[in-house]
Amino acid sequence: MILVTGAAGFIGSHLCDRLVGSGHTVVGLDNFNPFYNPQIKRNNISTLLTHPLFQLWEADIRDSSALDQCFAANDFDLVIHLAAMAGVRPSIEDPEEYYDVNVTGTVKLLQQCVRSRVRRFLFASSSSVYGNNDKIVFSETDHVDHPISPYAATKKAGELICHHYHHLNRMSVICLRFFTVYGPRQRPDLAVHSFVHRIMNGLPIPFFGDGSTSRDYSYIDDIIEGVTAAADYLDNHHCYEIINLGNSDTITLTQMLKTIEAVTGCPAIIDRQPLQAGDALKTCADIHKARALLAYQPKTAFEAGVRTFFDWYLRPLF
Ligand SMILES: NC(=O)c1ccc[n+]([C@@H]2O[C@H](COP(=O)([O-])OP(=O)(O)OC[C@H]3O[C@@H](n4cnc5c(N)ncnc54)[C@H](O)[C@@H]3O)[C@@H](O)[C@H]2O)c1
């Protein structure tokens, strides 16, 4: 039985869909926080709620007694920990909340795993731990002790915390560093979703810098393949591993906007703004380790992924 925290979110809901679809019994834990409209999260899992292998626990990972009840009622053999305050820019506004959820919350969950003898743990880390790494492509062996935002620091802290649970409590842990994930159900604050929404509503698009900043955009289905492969890897290996999951390709801000204009058939209104503090200039994943350990092979080209996102965006709501 698998516990997925953050199950109602963008990545969590896709992961739970995949896990129950392949016959796993899944408990999804989420507190439906208001970081973005909780109704979107309820919609994400509306079909899952009717699946016999899925059960929802509405709870906060910082609530030890709620965790205790959830673990007492279920016999987990794997925890996939996705629940977090996500996003770089808002973390600069409210670092305390980010540390509370992403660091304290992660410790509470790991402590519960120790108490309940759950020995396998997957942690959602982030490409943001690389900061403004001056070496492109980003590899798991690069030094990541220079975070440039509170969010990045909380994710690096999570990786470190997981390591001592591996060392002291014999837990097998994989920390997956996700690189800018997009696709249907993507968080509304993220580029692609927010750009499509603004273009379709005739709103100006904040365009930070000269358009040369770039991201390694990773399509949700490819990421889910990587997460499930990592879960399978934990079945057979006692390990602590950090693994990049990205597309290993970079798209500049200008290219992204042109792709979105082509897919939507609408021109963008551009609102030029200076670069934002805390944003990395470029991200690109070295995925050799994911290929070697997980047979990870991202398949989705950016334009095809944006088209799938746009089809989802245009879906009838009722
Ligand atoms: N989306 C990306 O591009 C990306 C990139 C790198 C890392 N990540 C990481 O992947 C994970 C999932 O990201 P996402 O984009 O799906 O975000 P999301 O915000 O859509 O999902 C996170 C979920 O966690 C829940 N949550 C937050 N705080 C909680 C708490 N205290 N207790 C219980 N539930 C709580 C939220 O309600 C939400 O449903 C996060 O850990 C994020 O940091 C995401």
pLDDT digits (tens, 9 = 90+) for 182-202: 999 999 999 999 999 999 999
Is the previous residue joined to 137 through a cis bond, with omega within 30 degrees of 0? Answer: yes
132 pLDDT band (50/70/90 cuts)? confident
Number of H helices, E strands in the chain: 12, 13
Mean pLDDT of 103-131: 97
Region of 265 on the Ramachandran plot (φ > 0 left; ψ -120 to 50 alpha; else beta): left
Q: How far is the CA of 219 from the centre of ligand 1 (A)?
A: 16
Residues within a 6 A CB radius of ligand 1: 5-6, 8-12, 30-33, 35, 41, 60-62, 82-86, 101, 105, 124, 126, 178, 180-181, 187
User: Which pLDDT score, from 0 to 100, does residue 278 have?
Assistant: 78
- The per-residue DSSP string of 13-38 comes to HHHHHHHHHTT--EEEEE---TTS-H
Domain boundaries, the chain: 2-181+219-246
CA distance 281 to 164: 32
User: Which pLDDT score, from 0 to 100, does residue 212 have?
Assistant: 94
User: Which pLDDT score, from 0 to 100, does residue 279 have?
Assistant: 83
pLDDT at 89 > cutoff 70: yes
CA distance 92 to 192: 22
CA distance 17 to 44: 10
Q: Is 151 among the catalytic positions?
A: yes
Q: What is the pTM of this model?
A: 0.97
CATH tag for 2-181+219-246 (out of 3.30.2130.10, 3.40.50.300, 3.40.50.720, 3.30.1370.60)? 3.40.50.720
pLDDT at 53 > cutoff 90: yes
Helix (H) or strand (E) holding 263: helix 253-264
The atom of ligand 1 lying closest to the CA of 83 is: 24
Mean pLDDT of 203-227: 96
Average pLDDT, the chain: 96
User: Which pLDDT score, from 0 to 100, does residue 318 have?
Assistant: 58
